[in-house]
Chains A and B, each alone.
Chain A
Amino acid sequence: MAGTIAIKNGHVFDPLNEINGDKMDIFIRNGKVVTELSASELKDAKEIDASGKTVMPGGVDSHSHVAGAKVNVGRMMRPEDHYKFYQKKTPITHSGCGYSVPSVYLGGYEYSKMGYTTVFEAAVPPMEARHTHEEMRSTPMLDMGGYLVLGNNWFLMRYLKEGDMEKAAAYVAWMMKTHKTYGIKCVNPAGVENWGWGENVSALDQANIHFEVTPEDIIKGLTEINEMLGFPMPVHLHANNLGHPGCWEITRDSLKIPKPVKARPNTSVEWAETKVNPKRHESVYLTHCQFNAFGGTSWRDFESGVKGITDYVNNHEHVVMDSGCVPFGDATVMTGDGPAIHDLYVLTGHKWSNTDVECECGSGVLPFTYLKNNPVHSVQWAMGLEVLLYVDDPWKVIMTTDSPNGGPFIKYPQVIAWLMSNKARQDTFNECHKWAQDRTDLSAEAREMSLYDIATITRANSARTIGMSHSKGTLGIGADGDVAIYDIDPTKLEVSDYESIIRGFENAAYTIKEGQVVSQKGEIVAIPEKKTYYTDISTSADDEKNMLDDVKNWFKYYTIGFNNYPTPDKYLANPTPIKIDAEV
């Protein structure tokens, strides 16, 4: 029977059910986790002996640049990223190439081999939503969704300036439906609009050109709208001043703004059984903290500013964040933060792409190599790990590399090894620039994460944070039957032998998607169906009508017609709306 499977005797790590390595069986029927299978079902079901192995829910990446216009620009401007890293086709898979910016097919396969089953695209510019969906539709193996970039949107900035929260909320809800996207992304609020004029903003109370709204206005406005509408996830924030020495302060101050905003996720879905409350209570989800946590005042006195942020996060309950780790080696930096990438261009002189997405946002792309002998890069390596190790409660952090900004996602196993093994970190200290020791406190940190912690920061918490724990990131009854089985025996694990951790997480023994084995020891064995999630919010008809009059009136500033603006359903693989009845 398709989608029905019994996974016997594995050591199960399911943090949302507080299961910590217990030896138990997992049963999946028709793609969903169930309590048990009947004798006749068992007879037909595939059975996997997972004894001596680690069993986790399928990995959930809540922040990765995998699809869309800027990712594709990264591919086009980097042939050198492709011709040395490729895979041949097999009877069931496409060929593919690309190290830091893989082709859509290769990207899907590589994630699946590592046991990941769900990935959310980190930034979808509204005008590029169609393109993003076309790429997500062609990315195999993964359930997906994307966050809509709204932090410098002309309509929103105007409504926020006028204080018209009803129209602003109606606009956000309409935009999500129109572009089939999932949550609100806010990139360098107010600053990217200024970049259209060759400027940026440098303070939270600095009003931008023409619209005269401040980063503070936008962060406050968007986080309030997010809860008025009851979004599944908090506002996803890429703070101002990113990548500049000393930026940690503005990041911490940005996190203070949504403190009074109470989280009110309001999705009408059926929830899988969990012991831990699966609903978020945070009003802001800070992304790639490492890039937002630079200390010092210049590149000469550059140092880690991570403590300033992790201290704040440890003492407050309204913030969750992902790390943006830097695992060294080739990367491609790509973000909606155009001015930040321009600064990197001036620093490195490397080939650079810059885009102004009319009326909405911008973006920049640049190849980048993180070198162990470079002082700043070495500090960044340590900082990414500090973010995850200094926050006491793993339910407040998520492991990412901001792929491919800090490094490609295929380096996750290496990052896991550094988190689990102090010896792995010390060995890297010996290889990299001494600033990593002098300008951060990481070398004194003895904490070693457990497999339970790793399961939390790579699936349970990423799913919970973005409001997907009704079906993802857990093996509770009713959850999607997405499972990763790793060749790691928790009872015999020696973390000083960190190479075995890397090997274990690199190629899952089995990756199971809705009860079907899709990848086995680094080989793709089946191409499953995939889903695309988006948020479908209904708001008051009057507000929507008034707002749409404005939008149509202003559409003369766009170079495309209003009727061509929306992304039709046919661009999505199995469109899966998450319905919300907003109270506005």
Chain B
Amino acid sequence: MAEVILKPTGNFNLTVEGEVITPDNFAGKNAQEIGQLLVWQGPQEYPLSNYFEVKGDGAASAEKTSIIIDGDVTRVKRIGEGMTAGRILVKGSTGMHVGADMKGGEIIVEGDTDSWPGMEMKGGLLHIKGNTKDHVGSAYRGSWNGMTGGRIVIDGDAINQVGGGISGGEIIIGGNVKHFCGIRINGGLIVVKGNATRAVGAEMTGGTIVVGGTIERFTPGFELAEVESDLKFNDIECFGEYKKFTGDYAIPQKGKGTLYVSCTNNECL
């Protein structure tokens, strides 16, 4: 595995569009060539080396290329966008759209990220060890087609619209979420280990959502089917007793989604 180390050194007053930072683009290039790749900052294009000190060469293929971002890149967007293989390790926090449209490989973020991580993702693994914001794995503005494959793991909290419109893949949130988690999904799996505020699974027509904590305001349009214990979705296990609901029946399409809610944390349901 060839390692390319990017150390942030530049001026990030305006956010930088970092979609060239993928193993696919770095493969077959030496450190100097990587530094010459162009990125947009506001209305101007500049070489990557304006913002990062580049050390190490890419391998011949994306699979064998590992990118280490050694610092905080909160003002860099779209890191790893569309990557198909290889690995990116961010030793700090990132901006928006990390791993958007990702098709394979692995991204690990040790800090937090801004909104849209794994937007419309198709494959691979995106692991965020801190917190994130809105639209995890979601469809982009206007689109109703979110993530279709791969896995997103958030160890901390996410905020609104987790997994909006996904039809495949898995999203696992270790902490809490707020509004509209799993809105309009028609496939895939969303597991929230903590609490949710409201509108979980609104307009869902398929797929599965599991909430291990408390849902503050439950979505109307769901019907209780039965109680199940110790859920298992391949390698993902959710221990304890869960109330199984189906829905969302509030829309004309009469959804066939499944919503599991922890019994112990939602006694009033």
Q: Could you tell me which A residues sit within 8 Å of B by CB distance?
A: 77-81, 83, 345-346, 348-351, 367
- Nearest CB in chain B to that of A351: its residue: B144
- Report the Cα distance A79→B144, complex, angstroms: 11
- Nearest CB in chain A to that of B139: its residue: A80
Given B139, B142, B205, B253, which contacts A78 in the complex, CB threshold below 8 Å?
A: B142
- Report the Cα distance A80→B140, complex, angstroms: 7
Q: Are B142 and A81 in contact (CB under 8 A)?
A: yes
Shortest 3 CB-CB contacts between residues of A and residues of B = A79-B142, A80-B142, A80-B143
Contacts of B144 in A (CB 8 A): 80, 350-351, 367
Contacts of A77 in B (CB 8 A): 142
Q: Are B205 and A80 in contact (CB under 8 A)?
A: no
Does more than half of chain B's interface fall in helix, strand or loop, or is it mixed? loop
Answer yes or no: B155 CB below 8 A from chain A CBs.
no
Given B139, B140, B251, B253, which contacts A83 in the complex, CB threshold below 8 Å?
A: B140
- Report the Cα distance A349→B252, complex, angstroms: 7
12 CB < 8 A contacts A-B: A77-B142, A78-B142, A79-B141, A79-B142, A80-B142, A81-B142, A83-B141, A346-B252, A346-B253, A348-B253, A349-B251, A351-B144
Q: Are B253 and A349 in contact (CB under 8 A)?
A: yes
- Report the Cα distance A348→B205, complex, angstroms: 11
* Closest CB in chain A relative to B66 CB, distance in Å: 30
- The bracket for how many chain B residues form the interface is 10 to 19
Binary contact track B120-151/A, C-beta < 8 Å → 1, others 0: 00000000000000000001111110000000
* Closest CB in chain B relative to A103 CB, distance in Å: 15
- Report the Cα distance A151→B214, complex, angstroms: 55
Contacts of B252 in A (CB 8 A): 345-346, 349
Q: How many A-B residue pairs have CB under 8 A?
A: 25
Contacts of A78 in B (CB 8 A): 142
Given B139, B142, B203, which contacts A349 in the complex, CB threshold below 8 Å?
A: B203
Contacts of B251 in A (CB 8 A): 349
Given A80, A346, A351, A367, which contacts B141 in the complex, CB threshold below 8 Å?
A: A80
* Closest CB in chain B relative to A522 CB, distance in Å: 26
- Report the Cα distance A79→B141, complex, angstroms: 7
- Nearest CB in chain B to that of A345: its residue: B252
- Report the Cα distance A349→B142, complex, angstroms: 14
- Which of B139, B143, B251 has the most chain A CB atoms inside 10 A of its CB? B143
* Closest CB in chain B relative to A334 CB, distance in Å: 16
- Nearest CB in chain A to that of B254: its residue: A349
- Report the Cα distance A351→B141, complex, angstroms: 13
* Closest CB in chain A relative to B24 CB, distance in Å: 19
* Closest CB in chain B relative to A263 CB, distance in Å: 44
- Report the Cα distance A346→B251, complex, angstroms: 9
Contacts of A81 in B (CB 8 A): 142
Binary contact track B226-258/A, C-beta < 8 Å → 1, others 0: 000000000000000000000000011100000
- Nearest CB in chain B to that of A77: its residue: B142
- Report the Cα distance A345→B203, complex, angstroms: 14
Contacts of B143 in A (CB 8 A): 80
Contacts of A351 in B (CB 8 A): 144
* Closest CB in chain A relative to B268 CB, distance in Å: 30
- Which of B139, B140, B142, B251 has the most chain A CB atoms inside 10 A of its CB? B142
* Closest CB in chain A relative to B135 CB, distance in Å: 14
* Closest CB in chain A relative to B17 CB, distance in Å: 14
